[in-house]
Amino acid sequence: MQTPEIIAQEWERIYRAKQDLRTALTERGVSLPKDALLEAYAPKVRSEIPPLVEIYKEQQFFQTPQERLPKLTIAGSYSPVKLAWLFGRCPNLLEAPEVIGIERASSLHSLLRESRAVRGALVLPDLPVCLQMDSLVRECSNIQSVTIGDAPICEDVNYLAAQCTQLQSLTIGALPVVRNIEAILYLCPEIERFETHFGDKITSAAWAFNYCTKLREITGVIDLTKVTNLNSFIAECPALEEVRLKGIQDNLILHQSTHLSLESVRYLITEAQQVTGKTIYLSRKLTERHPSELVELGKAANAKGWTISYR
């Protein structure tokens, strides 16, 4: 038999649950008066919150004022699936929406670009038909984590996470044919480690890691054999210790990286191409830590046409 105390506790739980439900509905853009009876909630949900909204065009939610969007799915008739600017410049959007079927997308150009209120994480699956992810979360200044699966035919990731000033983690699967990585992490001062899975097709890489001031380690080899312009490729990275750059043929600024490892320098020079009149800029502090080794590496660089300039 229920006592008055147990009944009172049960009513208190129901009241709290009702208040939580009302708050959740308000967050989804559904308003109910404070004195609405509990019986009014279910019809309101059914009438105003669609269980699934179909995406059928690019820019469908461009500049939407909503803070949150319902669960979304790609319309079966929409082909090819191009999602450029789908959630771009949404001033109040607080989280990256879930999109069922996003693996069908051939373009994710500027998917969340300049939606500066978005926080937390964006997680994308393998993208087997995606050709471009350029500016995917560019200038999402509050997003903290981006995880993307393999993208085996994607060629363009330029500015993918540029100017994401709170970004702490970018994880991307295999990008074997990517050509353009220009400014992929430009001005991301909170990121400390990045693991690369690039192939040997890169042709554009300027500003890729420029101003990543906490970046300590880039794992994996970055093949720059086909890149003719390395303007500020990895400049202004004072914390950088480990990086493996293969096949450089253009001037390279590394002198702000005062903690760069000897192994990184050795790999850089060993794998550099034969050139004429090109310069590698290194920190003078490296000569204090490894004087004899850098003399020998300097000779090897000179033999390939490189000048080593210490600053």
Tell me: do 135 and 5 sit in the same domain.
no
Nearest by Cα to 114 from 193, 170, 56, 59:
59
Output the domain CATH number for residue 189. 3.80.10
pLDDT band at 29 (very low <50, low <70, confident <90, very high): low
> Is 48 a residue whose pLDDT tops 90?
no
Task: Tell me how many domains the chain contains.
Answer: 2
Among the three residues 246, 261, 285, which one is the final residue of a domain in this structure? 246
Q: Identify the residue whose tokens are 């690019």.
A: 58
- Cα 132 from Cα 181, distance rounded (Å): 11
The verdict on residue 293 lying in a domain is no
pLDDT in the model for residue 1: 57
Among the ranges given (24-28, 107-111, 189-193, 265-269), the one the predictor scored with the smallest mean pLDDT: 24-28
- Cα 7 from Cα 26, distance rounded (Å): 29
More confident site: 27 or 123: 123
- Cα 142 from Cα 41, distance rounded (Å): 33
Tell me: do 23 and 74 sit in the same domain.
no
In this prediction, residues 213-237 reach a mean pLDDT of: 97
The mean of the pLDDT values for the chain is: 93
Question: How far is residue 56 CA from its own chain's centroid?
Answer: 25
270-281 b/e (C-beta count within 10 Å ≥ 16 → b): ebbeebeebebb
The verdict on residue 59 lying in a domain is yes
> Is 51 a residue whose pLDDT tops 90?
no
Instruction: Domain of residue 25: give its range.
Output: 1-49
pLDDT in the model for residue 21: 74
Among the three residues 49, 68, 86, which one is the final residue of a domain in this structure? 49
pLDDT band at 49 (very low <50, low <70, confident <90, very high): low
The DSSP call for residue 60 is T
The verdict on residue 231 lying in a domain is yes
> Is 100 a residue whose pLDDT tops 80?
yes
Tell me: do 144 and 192 sit in the same domain.
yes
Among the ranges given (46-55, 102-111, 170-179, 279-288), the one the predictor scored with the smallest mean pLDDT: 46-55
> Is 159 a residue whose pLDDT tops 70?
yes
Tell me: do 2 and 72 sit in the same domain.
no
Tell me: do 22 and 158 sit in the same domain.
no
Tell me: do 101 and 201 sit in the same domain.
yes
